[in-house]
Amino acid sequence: MIMASVEGTKNYISNFSDIKSKVLGKTGFEVSICGFGGYRIDDGIPQHQNALEKALLSGINLIDTSSNYFDGGSEFLVGKVLNKLVAENKINRENVIVVSKGGYLQGSNLKLGMEREQSGKPFSDVVKCTQDLWHCISPDFLENQITLSLKRLNLNKIDVYLLHNPEYFLTYSIISDPERREREYYRRIKEAFIHLESEVKRGRISCYGISSNTFAEKETKQNFTSLERVISIANEISENNHFAVVQFPMNLIENGGMTILNQHYQTKTFLQIAGENNLGVLVNRPLNAISKNKLIRLADYPVTEDRNDNEIFSLMDDLSKQESNLIEKYINYMGLSASEKKNVTDCISLSAILKSNYRKFDNPGNFSEIKSTILIPRANFAINEIGKSYPDDQNVVRALRNFAVTTNILLDSIFSNLAKNKNLENEKFHLAINKFANSEQQKLSLSQKAILLINSVPEVTTTLVGMKSVNYVDDVLKSIKSEVITNFADYWHNNGISIQ
């Protein structure tokens, strides 16, 4: 098989008795209620490859990616893992649903768009959002993007292809008249759908849809996308159209899909219309809510150290002394050029960075990113450079070991302090959900409860979760295996809005 099949997906899911599944609308595909979100995965990162392999071999059989995720790196990884597991006879291609998307011109896509413009053959109807971001859903662009995605994925067919946030046109359009802007928006969607129908006939995609951040917004919002109008457009093209899947953000805070009446003369919600029309519904950002332009991570964090601010500043002072000792006794005598010496000195001097920014750290997730992408690499670089200059000096070895230990304890302490505060803030979510959860469900972590609550909504087919490591996969599997929250609607209508 060169694509997912109804029988293949059903057979695969049947091998995992504890993995709950639903039918992806009129596609007929049997899909796990959680899918592998490819937003932050990249080819060449072993832990991402291991996580995707673990997910697929554990019964998670839907992968969501896009041409602009890591500038195509996400699609490369999906293709590599999927083809590897098929070659090893661990899965069949027909078992797994691959979802990809097109619309963004960033990175290499933006470069391509600029080159075509300069050559006099630009893509049609490009929306120039910012200097570094363009957007387009024109037929010529979509044909190009599907070709590139198939190549990166190393597949003959994409199972579900979505227009990626087409509402960028409404946000950045130079058309000032609201009615004319709206007409042009849906004209562009219709042209895109006509082309995607031709891609189905051509055999390059099985079905198509839209991923939009504004499906569940109030209909008065400028960049609102009406699901009713989109469905009507698809039906105008053909009664047997292949418009089959929609994707939108939903979480404990952003609950418009359940609560905002923005369809059918403001009498029905987005999810109701999706359900009535037998559309597959994918939910993104289940654990990353955006409220008042602030990102809120809906997850509990591990606390490994228990130190107050005074103890943390004492550790910073200790680290500062060790840094000064390394600089004065060793770095100053390493025979480096002035610029090289400054570089090593800057990298070893973590205490000053931490002291000056300590009060600015307010999110354990953000701090973890800073730690892994900036602080630890700087420290490791300095340790390696000093170690190379004094390979046989045991005093240096001890000094560097002490520096590394103190640095790790300090960074873990800062993270744990932030985690402790964030977990306290999370209690309001736990208490609200626990009113509707059974005793076993109440024991779940916040991320597991948040995912479970979304999966309990009948109209939601699959919740897409970023799983960058095997541990994340294990966390999601616990949620998948839990029984649904039967009175889920009471939570959304009685508590969802008040939590904001």
Would you say 143 and 197 are in contact if contact means Cβ atoms under 8 Å apart? Answer: no
> What does the alpha-carbon distance between residue 21 and residue 27 come to, in Å, rounded to a whole number?
14
> How high is the pLDDT of residue 300?
94
Band of pLDDT at residue 500, cut at 50, 70 and 90: very low
Band of pLDDT at residue 294, cut at 50, 70 and 90: confident
Would you say 31 and 22 are in contact if contact means Cβ atoms under 8 Å apart? Answer: yes
Quick one: what percent of the chain has pLDDT higher than 90?
Answer: 92
CB burial class (10 A; 0-12, 13-18, 19+) of residue 88? Answer: exposed
Position 28: which residue type? G
- Given a cut of 60, is residue 498 above it in pLDDT? no
- Average pLDDT value for residue range 476-497: 82
In this predicted model, what pLDDT tens digit does every residue of 226-260 receive, in sequence order? 999 999 999 999 999 999 999 999 999 999 999 99
In this predicted model, what pLDDT tens digit does every residue of 321-356 receive, in sequence order? 999 999 999 999 998 899 999 999 999 999 999 999
> What does the alpha-carbon distance between residue 135 and residue 173 come to, in Å, rounded to a whole number?
11
- C-alpha distances in angstroms, 252 versus 15, 291, 462? 32, 11, 16
CB atoms within 10 A of CB 241: 20
More confident residue, 449 or 496: 449
Quick one: what percent of the chain has pLDDT higher than 70?
Answer: 99
Position 266: which residue type? Q
Band of pLDDT at residue 499, cut at 50, 70 and 90: very low
- Given a cut of 60, is residue 1 above it in pLDDT? no
Mean pLDDT (the chain, rounded): 94
User: Hey, what are 23's tokens?
Assistant: 């039918």
- Average pLDDT value for residue range 295-313: 93
In this predicted model, what pLDDT tens digit does every residue of 356-366 receive, in sequence order? 999 999 889 88
In this predicted model, what pLDDT tens digit does every residue of 359-416 receive, in sequence order? 999 889 889 989 999 999 999 999 999 999 998 899 999 999 999 999 999 999 999 9
- Given a cut of 90, is residue 221 above it in pLDDT? yes
Q: What is the 3-state secondary structure (H, E, C) of the chain?
A: CCCCCHHHHHHHHCCCCCCCEEECHHHCCEEECEEEECCCCCCCCHHHHHHHHHHHHCCCCEEECCCCHHHHHHHHHHHHHHHHHHHCCCCCHHHCEEEEEECEECHHHHHHHHHHHHCCCCCCCCEEEECCEEECCCHHHHHHHHHHHHHHHCCCCEEEEEEECCCHHHHHCCCCCHHHHHHHHHHHHHHHHHHHHHHHHHCCEEEEEEECCCCCCCCCCCCCCCHHHHHHHHHHHCCCCCEEEEEEECCCCCCHHHHCEEECCCCEEHHHHHHHCCCEEEEECCCEEEECCEEEECCCCCCCCCCCHHHHHHHHHHHHHHHHHHHHHCHHHCCCCHHHHHHHHHHHCHHHHHHHHHHHCCCHHHHHHHHHHHHHHHHHHHHHHHHHHCCCCHHHHHHHHHHHHHHHHHHHHHHHHHHHHHHHHHHHHHHHHHCCCCCCHHHCCHHHHHHHHHHCCCCCCEEEEECCCHHHHHHHHHHHCCCCCCCHHHHHHHHHCCCC
In this predicted model, what pLDDT tens digit does every residue of 106-155 receive, in sequence order? 999 999 999 999 999 999 999 999 999 999 999 999 999 999 999 999 99
